[in-house]
Chains A and B, each alone.
Chain A
Amino acid sequence: MRRLLWPVVVLVLLLVLNVFFTPSFFSIEVKDGHLYGSLIDILRFGAPLILVSLGMTLVIATGGIDLSVGSVVAIAGALACLQISQDASVFTAVVLALGLSVVLGAWNGFLVAAVGIQPIIATLILMVAGRGLAQLITDGQIITINSPEYKLIGGGYWLTLPFSVILVIIVLGITAFLTRRLALGMLIESVGGNAEASRLAGIRSRGIIIMVYAFAALCAGVAGLMISSNVSSADGNNAGLWIELDAILAVVIGGTSLSGGRFSLSGTVLGALIIQTLTTTIYSIGVPPETTLLFKALVVTAVCLIQSPSFRAKVFRRRGRTAPPSPAAEEKVRVTA
């Protein structure tokens, strides 16, 4: 658990920072039987990112990467809204949207595991083409719907909690069960850690890889439903735009190596929460809009540097020798940002 220390420290720092600007930041109140408050908002708005990041964690653990999740978000939302606008039941819409997501994910997995295309290329295809597919579904329009049942998924409450948060907890629970109680996690880590050795140990890595990509797309599909449900509309162009990059970042902040192998689900959840808290913070402390992206970049760079053991060793050693206050460190931040 020591490797989760730094993400936790960063998250706490970010939260505390908010209190200085918004003293009521930590207060949670019950209105109409629903929980309200800034913390709840972070969870609620962060739910899609957490979901996408969970799927991404497993893909990255196999040594791959999935760039297409943003497009799948858009496709799932578009298909669900189209169905509902054509008077299909919410249930049918959801099942169709998630079904299509799984098929798309399995396609990614097929390209990677069976055809042998490098993951970044294989998923780049769907990343680019998927946006087109989403627009095809919505006919280039933004589909607006009015369905209270569908609204529940992303914007509703259940048992005083936002429904999207409950969904995240369920998916997280299922993922943790599959990977840590059953043997899926170990086999994924084995395939990501040494693919050839895994093959010679008799692991059917092809099936595992296809399954993992399908799972990542399923998570993205659920996130797509949440996003479109929250705004009661489907926007093939902008829904889930760049979410794949935030998800990759969340996974990395959570301590999973991009080269595959060991992964940490709780680390990923922390990483996604850090990113979402950062976004909230930027609004609440009033960073000028034109500098928000730069601000985000600086914070994320700092987070990554703090997490790097070799970087910490360097900084501490410098201090130990009481040399001039680490100019190299500051320079590095600026360069990488």
Chain B
Amino acid sequence: MAVPAPVLTMSGIGKQFPGVKALDGVDLRLLPGEVHALMGENGAGKSTLIKVLTGVYPADAGTIELGGATVAFGSPLEAQQAGISTVYQEVNLCTNLSVAENIFIGREPRRFGRIDWKRMRARANELLSRLELSLDVSAPLSTYSLAIQQMVAIARAIDVDARVLILDEPTSSLDADEVEQLFRVMRRLKEEGIAILFVSHFLDQIYEISDRMTILRNGRLVGEYLTKELPQVELVAKMIGQELAALERLHGEAKVFARPLIEARELGRAGAIEPFSLTIHEGEVVGLAGLLGSGRTEIARLLFGADHAGTGEIAVSGSQTSLRTPRAAMTHKIAFCSENRKADGLVPDLTVRENIILALQATRGWTRPVPREQQDELVGKYIKALRISPPNPEHLVRNLSGGNQQKVLLARWLILEPRLLILDEPTRGIDVGAKTEIQRLVAELSDGGMAVLFISAELEEVLRLSHKVEVLRDRRLVAELPNDDSLTTDVLMETIASGGRTS
């Protein structure tokens, strides 16, 4: 197979930040009509490389060639005009504007200085049909799902005659069907000869869609490989630089749990989750499995008092109680790491230290500050234990990478020494290394007697950690399955699909 001339070549790229060498001699080439995966752990330099390419940062060393000519972009706009478009992890669109407006914002087709609405709608339809989508382009974007919004972002990106399309973790908030839809679009764009640079933490997706990959580690190039020639195990080893220890069984023998911690009976909330009953024992890891929107987060929020339950009752350690506020749940030593760490987890303007002690301080009230020595000790301990990077407690949380933000949130709750820890998608969007760390931590905590409610979209992960698995479908708890040898991801998927009627 003859290799066509690359549309984009980056060679010897170096980038220095105060105190860190973010990139050091990295090469990357993109061929027309291929999906190229950029792989690496959090902090390996993927985002920095993309930012150098799109002109957000200037490169300190190295050259970028686009279509044979050397380029250096001063801003993302220049890069876009040259044919390099980027769709970021968080959709950067205005959900209150219409689909068409979002596609053409800033470059609306004009006639006599006024916006030519008719032509705008027509062109929007044209663009979307290129992605095999048919939408009402004058409807507000907010009426469509996150996946569709993602597609609209892509439509916006390819309108400007893109030669290179960069997708930075586009799938992290999509469910399986939506990912499939996105992949169809990607394959279609590939046929048109666009080079796609794809970043994702989901290895299965990488193997499904990508043709070639470039692996980075600690700001250095590990190598470029053909996807089909690199087995997954080797990929992971190259990413983290060591062989991944087998994680098949994190729990030893099946344990018997005698002391119920939380007993929910017919707990429910109209429009969120049908009444359900659930018992969580001390030291037990309960997994919640189900599709996105099946009510996983809703159960967690009810158990934490973040939402009010409409029906049912709840008992903690055998005594009847009501969890009307997060504060009330916290007095029962229940902790909740929320799924959306940006919106309802962290305070971005505060430092790592302040974010970590926030919940502890809240339980003490404002009149009794946590002494500074105790703060430094606690924060230092968890920065070390969770390997938060950079290990500077006075760093603003907004400047941390996603995985490290997740660890900060986890640390906030761990210092409270909760009896029940609710983890809603704690490993989403974080790299393999951090993921195994968090999984191992969950196993350790439960061995120490802490109960854990573990929510994850990845069934393998749920299966690996949980003692029992609650299956959700369409906002209803449909089955409770003990995690013995007979339980596999296939069984789980069947249960989700069948709604628990047959099994």
Interface residue ranges, A against B (CB under 8 Å):
178, 181-184, 186-187, 189-190, 193-194, 196-204, 208, 261-262
Contacts and interface: CB of A to CB of B under 8 A. Distances in A.
A186 B366 CA distance: 9
20 contacts: A182-B368, A183-B364, A183-B370, A186-B350, A186-B361, A187-B366, A193-B348, A193-B349, A194-B344, A194-B346, A196-B344, A197-B345, A198-B347, A200-B336, A201-B359, A202-B326, A202-B327, A202-B362, A204-B362, A204-B365
B363 interface: yes
B420 to A, nearest CB: 15
A268 B464 CA distance: 54
A194 B349 CA distance: 9
B358 interface: yes
A164 to B, nearest CB: 29
Interface in B321-340: 326-327, 330, 336, 338
A267 to B, nearest CB: 15
Nearest to B346: A197
A208 B370 CA distance: 18
Contacts of A196: 343-344
Chain A to chain B: the 4 pairs with minimum beta-carbon distance, closest first: A202-B362, A193-B347, A183-B369, A261-B349
B149 to A, nearest CB: 21
Contacts of B349: 189, 193, 261-262
B374 interface: no
B354 interface: yes
B347 A200 contact: no
Contacts of B467: none
B423 to A, nearest CB: 14
B78 to A, nearest CB: 15
B164 to A, nearest CB: 28
A129 to B, nearest CB: 31
B354 A186 contact: yes
Nearest to A183: B369
Contact of B369 (A182, A189, A198): A182
Nearest to B363: A202
B361 A194 contact: no
A201 B347 CA distance: 10
A178 B330 CA distance: 25
B367 interface: yes
A199 B343 CA distance: 12
Nearest to B327: A202
Contact of A183 (B306, B330, B338, B366): B366
B412 interface: yes
Nearest to A259: B349
Given A186-B354, A199-B326, 8 more contacts: A178-B366, A181-B369, A182-B369, A187-B366, A194-B343, A194-B347, A200-B345, A203-B358
Contacts of A189: 347, 349-350, 354
A182 B367 contact: yes
A190 B350 contact: yes
B344 A200 contact: yes
